[in-house]
Amino acid sequence: MEHLLHGSCHCGAVQLRLPHLPSRATECNCSICRRLGALWGVFDWTTVGLSAEPRALEEYIWGEKTLRTMRCRVCGCATHWEPLRPQPDAWHGVNLRMFPPELLQHVQIRRFDGADSWTFIDD
Ligand SMILES: [Zn+2]
């Protein structure tokens, strides 16, 4: 399954490598996630491999300014989010849409109500 754990943005300027399959993925309906259409897997960032061509990444910061969503400047794909002020064991979100679709066959997808109740809504 190793090949499933390597992903990239559409043009390939941003490369991502996961340490393992996430136990689940989150589909969030908040104002930014629903527009991005992202499917987030959450990881300890020290375990995720990220390589990007110089200046390929640009950030988007909004709202309470606790995190920034990162996208490829070339092709526009949202690749991950990260805390603005990382703590030692901070979590980061990786957009699993950047990975082979077969990856998602092995991952439970959960719907998260980030727009309102801040809870999962698929129970
Ligand atoms: Zn790209």
pLDDT tens digit sequence for 21-51: 998 999 999 999 999 999 999 998 889 999 9
Q: Average pLDDT over the chain, rounded to whole? A: 92
Q: Confidence class of residue 5 from pLDDT cuts 50, 70 and 90?
A: very high
pLDDT of residue 123: 67
Structure tokens at 8: 């990239």
Ligand 1 is an ion; residues with CB less than 5 A from it:
9, 11, 13, 72, 74-75
Could you tell me the distance, in angstroms and rounded to a whole number, from the CA of residue 38 to the centre of ligand 1? 15
The predicted-structure confidence for 63-82, as pLDDT tens digits, reads as follows 888 899 999 999 999 999 99
pTM of the model as a whole? 0.91
Question: Which are the contacts of 62, defined by CB distance < 8 A and separation ≥ 6?
Answer: 32
**CB atoms inside a 10 Å sphere around CB 89:** 8
The highest-level CATH class for domain 23-112 is mainly beta
27 alpha carbon to ligand 1 midpoint, in Å? 22
